[in-house]
Amino acid sequence: MGFFTEMFARPRPQEHQRYRAALALLNAMSNADRADIGIKPADFPRIAREMSAR
| pLDDT of 7 | 64
Q: Give residue-wise pLDDT tens across range 7-40.
A: 666 666 778 889 999 999 999 999 999 899 899 8
- Amino acid identity for residue 43 in this structure: D
| pLDDT of 5 | 67
Q: Give residue-wise pLDDT tens across range 31-43.
A: 999 899 899 889 9
CA distance linking residue 1 with residue 24, whole number of Å: 37
Closest CA to 19 of 53, 52, 41, 46: 52
11: DSSP letter: P
Domain ranges of the chain: 13-53
- Tell me, yes or no, if the pTM score tops 0.85: no
| pLDDT of 36 | 92
Q: Does 54 score more than 90 pLDDT?
A: no
